[in-house]
């Protein structure tokens, strides 16, 4: 396996690189399915708040993205119940 060659190829998704092996490799529809649209944001909070968020994420074993997604989903679920 030491001689296994690979190439770097462009993915069908914009801006992503992938590895192309001599055999096998990515297949259309393979892999984890997306859960939505990714948009990058910048959020300014105090150091203390970021530390609380990181502590909470570590305790729950979730990413920051999951943490904020849960907050947003909960907010909009509650707002929809109230008839926003």
What confidence tier does 81 reach under pLDDT thresholds 50, 70, 90?
confident
| Residues spanned by the domain of 77 | 44-84
- Structure-token pair, residue 22: 């001599």
CATH of the domain at 75: 1.10.1220
- Looking at the domain assignment, is residue 55 inside a domain? yes
* CA 14 – CA 42 distance, rounded (Å): 21
Number of structural domains found in the chain: 1
- The pTM is what? 0.59
Residue for token pair 């729950």: 60
- Looking at the domain assignment, is residue 56 inside a domain? yes
- Looking at the domain assignment, is residue 51 inside a domain? yes
User: For 32-73, what is each residue's pLDDT tens digit?
Assistant: 788 889 899 999 999 999 999 999 999 999 999 999 999 999
């Amino acid at each position: 396996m030491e001689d296994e060659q690979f190439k770097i190829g462009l993915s069908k998704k914009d801006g992503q690189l992938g590895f192309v092996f001599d055999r096998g490799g990515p297949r259309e529809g393979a892999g984890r399915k997306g859960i939505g649209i990714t948009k990058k944001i910048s959020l300014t909070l105090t150091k203390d708040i970021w530390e609380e968020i990181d502590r909470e994420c570590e305790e729950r074993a979730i990413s920051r993205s999951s943490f904020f997604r849960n907050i947003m989903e909960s907010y909009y679920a509650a707002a929809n119940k109230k008839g926003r």
